[in-house]
Copies of this chain bind each other. A is one copy, B any other.
Amino acid sequence: MSKKVVTFGEIMLRLSPPGYQRIVQAQQFDVNYGGGEANVAISLANYGLDSYYVTRLPNHEIGQAAVNALRRFGVKTDYILRGGDRIGIYFLEIGASQRASKVIYDRSNSAIAQITPEMIDWETVFTNAAWFHFTGITPALSDSAAQTCLKAVKVAKENNLTVSCDLNYRKKLWSPDKANRVMTELMDFVDIAIGNEEDAEKVFGIKAPGVDVTTGELNPDAYQPVAEELVNRFKFQKVAITLRQSISASDNIWSGVFYDGKQFYTSRRYNIHIVDRVGGGDAFAAGLIYALLDNRDPQEVLDFAVAASCLKHTLPGDFNHVSVREIEVLLSGNVSGRVQR
């Protein structure tokens, strides 16, 4: 299977102190590159799809290093624009036990935030493409980024691509009100909506009844009305939601639910001892896209996405360096971590 999939968004330079240090302790930063849609693109390339990532990056060495990070793992960078002054940066402290991970964004005025709709020829980008994916981060970057996003989804639909959106609400980028307004307009062109246990509430005010996210316990069934309401309100074909129960920063219970407009599916739950949870949601989205493109059954689609994202948590960095085969080993029930030798 080598269908062409396009994702669009911001890839950032990620700087994190090694070994559970806090920033005030660090004398070195681990260097990674990542961002919601870029992370999805990496996964899809790993799964053998023809994966294109569209963004705008400054024409200097850091911009080039971001391009290289994508190329290195097989993502096609042909449509990446070069220009602007800076790449977005985020500083990440990896949490442990009762200490949460901490993110400091320094992404204002990034090259992609300053993109304007006319910069990208979406007709060309979408030639022969089957799928377009973006997240709620991209329209949150700036008004012009939101307009560019809107143009993208319109052209995508005109060209009969499937469009998926991970709601991915970021309170440091915009208010719920603005998110609601901008995202609502975009949702008209979205076929498949993805979110975490909070996104629907934060962006669209659709709350899972009886759920208190901060207390940890998450009842999957509480998300059936959320999914139904999303489908009703926006005419989505399908809705998928990840459920993260945070025992602590070191241990999470991870699962997901999926509604295909007809039936509601819940996944198995994974008790994960975490290496790096950033990109977990993106790995879920990518697993979902792959499994849907592979025409799997709804339960299998959900299980694949959850298993793929479970494995992401065991890897440092934003990217999910696992293959379809490795996910299927986990799906087959082998969670024992036995070494093959």
Interface residues of A (CB under 8 A from B): 15, 18-31, 60-62, 64-65, 68-69, 71-74, 85-86, 89, 91, 93, 95-106, 108-109, 170-172, 213-216, 246-251, 270-275, 277-278, 310-311, 313-317, 321-322, 326, 329-330, 333-341
Contact = CB atoms under 8 A, between A and B. Distances in A.
A69 B251 CA distance: 32
A339 B310 CA distance: 17
B321 A24 contact: yes
Contacts of A26: 31, 65
B334 A95 contact: no
Contacts of A251: 273
16 contacts: A19-B19, A23-B62, A61-B104, A62-B91, A68-B72, A86-B106, A97-B272, A97-B274, A97-B337, A98-B330, A98-B337, A99-B311, A172-B340, A214-B334, A248-B273, A251-B273
B29 A29 contact: yes
B273 A100 contact: no
B29 A315 contact: no
A106 B341 CA distance: 12
Given A73-B68, A336-B248, A108 B91 contact: no
B338 A68 contact: no
A275 B20 contact: yes
A235 to B, nearest CB: 29
A219 to B, nearest CB: 16
A24 B73 contact: yes
A86 B248 CA distance: 30
Contact of A97 (B15, B64, B102, B273): B273
Nearest to A92: B339
A22 B321 contact: yes
Contacts of A329: 100
B61 A98 contact: no
A100 B15 contact: no
B337 A249 contact: yes
B24 A339 contact: no
Contacts of A23: 61-62, 64-65
B274 A91 contact: no
A246 B338 contact: yes
Given A30-B27, A31-B29, A335 B98 contact: yes
B99 A315 contact: yes
